[in-house]
């Protein structure tokens, strides 16, 4: 039984059979391997329903050359390049140190080939991890990542391969850098995805005009933060049209920095909401977001947060 700091039972959700004590999810790449932020005084994983770990590959990766991050108006560019210690290290050394009584932990799987996605998923299947998120939308690696996620057939192939490797909840992280995200979601659903994360970062570039060079070592990076929120809301709305008939949940994300933003994603169709970039400037944000959602439920006469999902009334 999970102990929880979120005391408002109205915020609890069922996510693919997993009990989340809050709809909030800490996003992959923004909280290391679930233990980094716990060093911040006052921060607790108990304030959220789940924590997504950093993207993990079969072999360790050193990531891209610097600069890897750059602040932009209302957002940031990053091109970390999936730096991680490899799946065996994560399973054998990191997972045993995590407190699964505090929250749910979700692995984030990446690969350069379909076989690598399958194998990393298989190794996480044989671990205490609660769910597996497939990142077919990373814009910062040369092979795999968004190259798969922007191609509907390849996306479905990766999902099908991962599905064969696990019975744990499988969440597909969709790319906003494609023409028809709803068509991609439909194909991934048929291939066995249980849920979706919408959206990953948008590809972007920053230029140092004095040097006439891109600022980011990788030349391009993924744009996150409030700058992408309107795009993310539309993509969640579009994917929800595919998901709602099947009761498939979405983790809405992209630029959430307060409770109001979180509410907008829930209303657009998300069952859970992810917080990433905002943690870099406000690591203690989650308690306020929970409180704002609770206050909204009271003011609008909702009994539980699930009633908000997809409650958007179109004009
Ligand atoms: C520094 C950084 C690293 C990230 N690394 C990953 C990753 O390893 N895997 C992944 O699926 N998404 C990764 N993301 C994307 C986030 O999980 C999230 O989907 C995206 O940033 C949008 O949410 P936000 O605007 O709240 O940050 C990363 C984002 C940032 C800013």
pLDDT in the model for residue 1: 45
Summarised one tens digit per residue, pLDDT across range 175-216 is 999 999 999 999 999 999 999 999 999 999 999 999 999 999
Considering only the top CATH level, what class is 9-58+79-203+224-308? alpha beta
Q: Which of 274, 302, 196 is nearest to 240 (CA)?
A: 196
Give the mean pLDDT of 133-155.
83
Dist. CA 226 → ligand 1 center (Å) = 13
DSSP 30: S
**173, 201, 227: which to mutate for ligand 1, most atoms within 8 A of CB?**
201
CA–CA separation, 288 vs 259, rounded Å? 7
- Tell me what percent of the residues of the chain surpass a pLDDT of 90: 91
Contacts of 118 (CB under 8 A, 6+ apart): 161, 162, 164, 165
Q: Exactly one of 16, 30, 52, 138 is catalytic; which is it?
A: 138
- The residue assigned the tokens 């048929």 is 190
Annotated binding site for substrate: 54, 78-82, 135, 200-201
How far is C-alpha 213 from the chain's CA centre? Answer: 31
Which tokens go with 145?
Answer: 């990542």
Q: Which of 220, 52, 243, 218 is nearest to 134 (CA)?
A: 52
Per cent of the chain over pLDDT 70 is 97
Report whether residue 242 contacts ligand 1, using a CB cutoff of 6 Å.
no
Instruction: Report helix angle 181-190 to 152-165, nearest 10.
Output: 30
Distance CA 104, CA 254 (A): 21
Cα 293 to ligand 1 centroid, rounded to whole Å? 23
pLDDT of residue 147: 79
- Classify residue 151 by its DSSP letter: S
**235 neighbors 13 (Cβ within 8 angstroms):** no
Question: 294 pLDDT band (50/70/90 cuts)?
Answer: very high
**Whether 197 contacts 164, CB under 8 Å:** no
Q: What is the pLDDT of residues 250-269, one digit of tens each?
A: 999 999 999 999 999 999 99
CA 153 to mean position of chain CA atoms: 22
Domain ranges of the chain: 9-58+79-203+224-308
- Cβ-proximal residues to 93 (8 Å cutoff; 6+ apart), any chain: 85
| 80 Cβ below 6 A of ligand 1 | yes
The predicted structure's pLDDT at residue 141: 67
Find the mean pLDDT for residues 273-295.
97
Residue 4 has pLDDT above 60, yes or no: no
With a 6 Å cutoff on the Cβ, whether 156 touches ligand 1 is no
Q: How far apart are CA 135 and CA 82, in angstroms?
A: 11
Site of tokens 């693919």: 16
Choose one of 25, 26, 28 to mutate for the ligand 1 pocket test, by most ligand atoms within 8 angstroms of C-beta. Answer: 28
CB 160 within 8 A of CB 98: no
User: Helix or strand or coil: residue 53?
Assistant: strand
Model confidence over 55-75: pLDDT tens digits? 999 999 999 999 999 999 999
For the stretch 156-186, pLDDT in tens is: 999 999 999 999 999 999 999 999 999 999 9
Pairing status of strand 250-252 against strand 18-20? unpaired
Is 188 labeled as catalytic in the residue annotation? no
């Amino acid at each position: 039984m999970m102990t929880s700091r979120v005391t408002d039972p109205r915020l609890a959700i069922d996510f693919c059979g997993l009990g989340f004590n809050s709809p909030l999810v800490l996003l992959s790449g923004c909280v290391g391997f679930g233990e980094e932020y716990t060093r911040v005084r006052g921060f607790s994983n108990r304030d959220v329903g789940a924590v997504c770990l950093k993207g993990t590959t079969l072999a360790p990766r050193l990531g891209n050359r610097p600069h890897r991050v750059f602040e932009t108006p209302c957002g940031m560019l990053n091109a970390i390049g999936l730096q991680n210690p490899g799946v065996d290290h994560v399973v054998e050394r990191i997972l045993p140190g995590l407190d699964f009584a505090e929250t749910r932990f979700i692995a984030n799987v990446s690969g350069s080939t379909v076989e690598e996605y399958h194998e990393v998923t298989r190794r996480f299947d044989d671990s205490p991890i609660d769910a597996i998120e497939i990142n077919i939308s990373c814009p910062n690696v040369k092979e795999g990542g968004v190259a798969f996620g922007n191609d509907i057939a390849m996306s479905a192939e990766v999902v099908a391969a991962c599905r064969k490797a696990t019975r744990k909840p499988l969440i597909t992280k969709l790319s906003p850098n494609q023409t028809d995200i709803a068509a991609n979601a439909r194909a991934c659903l048929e291939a066995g995805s249980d849920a979706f994360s919408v959206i990953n970062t948008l590809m972007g570039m920053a230029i140092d005009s004095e040097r006439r060079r891109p600022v980011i070592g990788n030349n391009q990076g993924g744009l996150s933060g409030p700058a992408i929120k309107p795009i993310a809301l539309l993509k969640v709305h579009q994917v929800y049209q595919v998901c709602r008939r099947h009761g498939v949940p979405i983790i809405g994300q992209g630029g959430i920095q307060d409770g109001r933003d979180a509410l907008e994603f829930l209303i657009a169709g998300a069952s859970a909401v992810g917080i990433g970039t905002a943690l870099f400037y406000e690591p203690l944000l989650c308690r306020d977001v929970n409180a704002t959602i609770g206050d909204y439920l009271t003011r609008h006469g909702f009994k539980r947060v699930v009633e908000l999902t997809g409650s958007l009334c179109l004009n």
